[in-house]
């Protein structure tokens, strides 16, 4: 067992990252102070009893009511609703908040953790995509620590320690290529949900697996990297790396490239985030270089996967456009997962929404960014009424 344990709030405890964080807590003997999820009160109750947490929060009020009944024989306090998550963060004495909430819903908890002086292990990429400038300004204002948990940004965070920021030539963000690497646009139009969920290397939730298949996830990660590391979009590139052994790279002005490598296992990134970038021991298996045999790299196909290009444009424009991009994508991916639209409609609908709502380029205040999010959801939903 790893020494030097940490206490943490686990937001999004029933999702893919949340369940892997549970395993990291078991391996390290760390203390989970509080748990939050959306609706799965049964699983949260199991987690709460195992770790003897002090607080729980359910975004869904009905689930919160059910959880209170499940935990009625304990002293665990249960909060309900979106504001309840923020109240739970404020009540907890945890050293770190691990935010693994899915989607734009993770933004408010991110800001709440920062404002309460918590160190933040951030797995919710949408916080930085939607409001990266505001989040990083809040980190600076409150003097807190933000450590990325996303595998690519966790890798870049480590690679940047090899040199001075002024000497960085570019960031190179690796991508597995998703389930449809090598396919052309005409082959993708009618692929099924089951086909899209067949990720080649990573074990992830359904929404992020679809984003990987469209390369939208990689587009988000380019924006996230720009906001997190304060590097302009034109100095950040994506490269397809099917083996998912190199998680990202930093190229310096002398053309040397520093890469971070490990088995594709998010538990390593979770531990790195929880311990603030310190290495406290292994929670994953070691690389066996003799078994890897080869590492391959390919340029992304932006004709067949146009959302990568759309994301780059939104990232360069800034303002509320990344929020528009994210909101539209959340709506259409949800529709695809429910079988309401074809795979080919995802990129088409997102691109049309971004094109129509360009006026949000000047949105910088949180209220304006949230307005951009709302407008994009409504516009994308209206477009989907004519699809199927």
DSSP per residue, 121-139: EE--THHHHHHHHHHHHHH
- The pLDDT of residue 388: 44
Q: Give me the tens of pLDDT residue by residue for the chain, a chain 388 residues long.
A: 455 699 999 999 999 999 999 999 999 999 999 999 999 999 999 999 999 999 999 999 999 999 999 999 999 999 999 899 999 999 999 999 999 999 999 999 999 999 999 999 999 999 999 999 999 999 999 999 999 999 999 999 999 999 999 999 999 999 999 889 999 988 988 888 988 887 666 557 789 899 999 999 999 999 999 999 999 999 999 999 999 999 999 999 999 999 999 999 999 999 999 999 999 889 999 999 999 989 999 999 999 999 999 999 999 999 999 999 999 999 999 999 999 999 999 999 999 999 999 999 999 999 999 999 999 999 999 999 876 4
Q: Positive or negative CA dihedral for 159, 104, 35, 144?
A: positive
**Residue ranges per domain, the chain?**
7-148, 163-263+301-384
DSSP string, 336-379: HHTTSS-THHHHHHHHHHHHHTGGGGG--SHHHHHHHHHHHHHH
Q: Is 178 left (phi over 0), alpha (psi -120 to 50) or beta?
A: left
What is the torsion angle, in degrees rounded to the nearest 10, for the CA atoms of residue 199, residue 39, residue 347 and residue 308?
-60
163-263+301-384 has which CATH code?
1.10.1740.10
- Cβ pair 187, 222 in contact under 8 A: no
pLDDT (tens digit per residue) in 273-325: 999 999 988 999 999 999 998 999 999 999 999 999 999 999 999 999 999 99
Sequence-distant (≥ 6) Cβ neighbours of residue 62 within 8 angstroms: 39
- Cβ pair 106, 373 in contact under 8 A: no
- Is pTM beyond 0.75? Reply is yes
Beta strands in the chain (DSSP E): 7-11, 31-37, 55-58, 77-80, 96-99, 119-122, 146-148, 168-175, 236-240, 246-252, 257-261
CATH 3.50.50.60, applies to 7-148: no
Relative to beta strand 77-80, strand 257-261 is: unpaired
- The pLDDT of residue 99: 99
What are residue 32's DSSP bridge partners?
8
pLDDT (tens digit per residue) in 194-208: 888 876 665 577 898
């Amino acid at each position: 067992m790893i020494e030097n344990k940490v206490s943490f709030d686990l937001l999004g405890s029933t999702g893919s990252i949340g369940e892997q964080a549970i395993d990291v807590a078991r391996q390290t003997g760390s203390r989970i102070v509080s748990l939050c999820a959306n609706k799965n009160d049964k699983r949260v109750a199991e987690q709460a009893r195992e770790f003897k947490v002090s607080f729980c929060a359910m975004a869904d009020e009905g689930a919160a009511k059910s959880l209170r009944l499940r935990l009625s024989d304990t002293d665990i306090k249960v909060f309900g609703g979106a504001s309840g998550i923020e109240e739970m963060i404020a009540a907890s004495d945890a050293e770190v908040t691990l935010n693994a909430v899915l989607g734009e819903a993770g933004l408010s908890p991110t800001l709440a953790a920062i404002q309460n002086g918590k160190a933040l292990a951030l797995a919710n990429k949408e916080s930085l995509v939607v409001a990266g400038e505001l989040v990083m300004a809040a980190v600076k204002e409150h003097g807190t620590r933000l450590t990325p948990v996303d595998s690519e940004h966790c890798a870049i965070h480590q690679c940047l320690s090899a040199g001075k920021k002024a000497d960085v030539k570019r960031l190179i963000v690796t991508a597995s290529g998703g389930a449809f690497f090598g396919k052309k646009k005409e082959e993708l139009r009618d692929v099924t949900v089951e086909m899209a969920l067949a990720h080649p290397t990573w074990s992830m939730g359904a929404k992020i697996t679809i984003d990987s298949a469209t390369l939208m996830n990689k587009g988000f990660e380019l924006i996230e990297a720009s906001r997190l590391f304060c590097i302009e979009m034109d100095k950040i590139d994506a490269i397809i790396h099917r083996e998912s052994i190199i998680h990202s790279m930093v190229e310096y002005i002398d053309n040397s490239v520093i890469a971070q490598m490990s088995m594709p296992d998010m538990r390593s990134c979770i531990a790195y985030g929880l311990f603030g970038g310190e290495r406290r021991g292994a929670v994953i298996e070691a690389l066996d270089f003799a078994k890897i045999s080869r590492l391959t790299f390919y340029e992304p196909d932006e004709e067949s996967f146009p959302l990568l290009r759309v994301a780059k444009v939104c990232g360069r424009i800034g303002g509320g456009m990344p929020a528009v991009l994210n909101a539209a994508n959340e709506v259409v991916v949800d529709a695809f997962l429910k079988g309401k639209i074809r795979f080919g409609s995802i990129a088409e609908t997102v691109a049309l929404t971004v094109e129509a709502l360009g006026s949000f380029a000047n949105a910088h205040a949180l209220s304006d960014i949230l307005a951009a999010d709302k407008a994009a959801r409504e516009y994308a939903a209206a477009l989907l009424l004519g699809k199927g």
